[in-house]
Structure 1
Amino acid sequence: MTKADFVEFMDGKLKLVRTEYGLTQDKMAVVLGISKKTLVEIEKNRKSLGWTGAVALASIFSGSIVLQDATGGDLDDIIIAIAFRDITVDYPKTWGGKVWWKSLNDEHGYRLQQNLFSRHFRILDPDDRRIFSTFNPEEAQERLTELLQELPKEK
């Protein structure tokens, strides 16, 4: 998933989320920091939230059943995977993928997992810290292989 894909996805969910929370267009516009006119244009598919607006919608309404059902409930991880694409970063500790994740490979405590809804991949270290995220399965497997090769050899 690219930034453009994510923005388009969030544009399409805006009205559903607004309705789910029982917000008027006026109130939703205030929450998102946009004008009512812009919100109306987005809901009519004439304008877009853009990356920043899409991230704001996902973050503010991360508890939305509409968004959780459509993404597997891990919006932060999806945003991180997109935002840090091609950028190396030290990620914080996760819950270890107990919900919405399928473990594809588990070696020496490193786990390659795929989100059951968004289908993106991540690698967790033995302490459940995300060390890599991507939507590319080959890239995920390559990075896991590199990590395993860097481990000290057992005697």
Structure 2
Amino acid sequence: MKMDQMIEIVSSKLKLIRIEHGYTQDKMASTLGISKKTLLQIEKQRMQANWTTVAAVAAIFRDSEILKTALGGDPVELVEILAHEGIERPKEQTLGGKVWWKDMKCENGFRLQQNLISKHYRILDDDNHRWYSSFDIGEAYERLNELVKS
């Protein structure tokens, strides 16, 4: 997934996210720091949200089932990966990838998974703590090999 794909997905789901949380258009626009006119344009799919608005939606509505389903998991994780071109921060606990994840390789207490929707990769330990996330499969395998050897 690339930034423009995430922008497109979040823009297309913004009205449903607003309704899911019971927000009026005025409250949603105010919460996101955009004008009501801009919100209406996005909701009517006449324009797309900008990256800042998408990041705000991901953070503020992180628990949105619509957003999680559309993106295949934690929206904030995707924003971080896209903004930083990968995440290398050990010990954030996950739910273990029971819904949107496919195990690619399991070795020595670590497993490499791929998200079925966004297609990004992550490495979890046996306790489901995330050690690494990236869209680059080569880097993900390299990091897995480093973790397995340590």
Partner of 2:131: 131
Partner of 1:97: 96
How many residues were matched structurally?
149
The alpha-carbon deviation at position 64 of structure 1 amounts to: 1.8
Pair 142,126 (structure 1): closer, same or farther in 2 beyond 3 Å: same
Q: State the distance in 1 between where 2:18 and 2:76 align.
A: 19
Q: Which amino acid aligns with 2:6?
A: F
1:37 aligns to 2:50 (yes or no): no
Kept in 1: contact 2:9–2:70 (CA 8 A): no
* Structure whose CA Rg is larger: 1
Partner of 1:10: 10
| Partner-residue secondary structure (3-state), 1:13 | helix
Q: State the distance in 2 between where 1:130 and 1:14 align.
A: 28
Gapped runs of 5+ residues in structure 2?
none
Q: Which amino acid aligns with 1:94?
A: Q
| Partner-residue secondary structure (3-state), 1:111 | strand
Gapped runs of 5+ residues in structure 1?
none
The alpha-carbon deviation at position 13 of structure 1 amounts to: 0.9
Kept in 1: contact 2:94–2:130 (CA 8 A): no
**TM-score where L is the length of structure 1:** 0.79
Q: Deviations over 1:30-58 (max 9, x none)?
A: 12121101111222334332112101112
* Identity rate, percent: 46
Kept in 1: contact 2:93–2:128 (CA 8 A): yes
Which piece of structure 1 moves more, 91-100 or 37-46?
A: 91-100
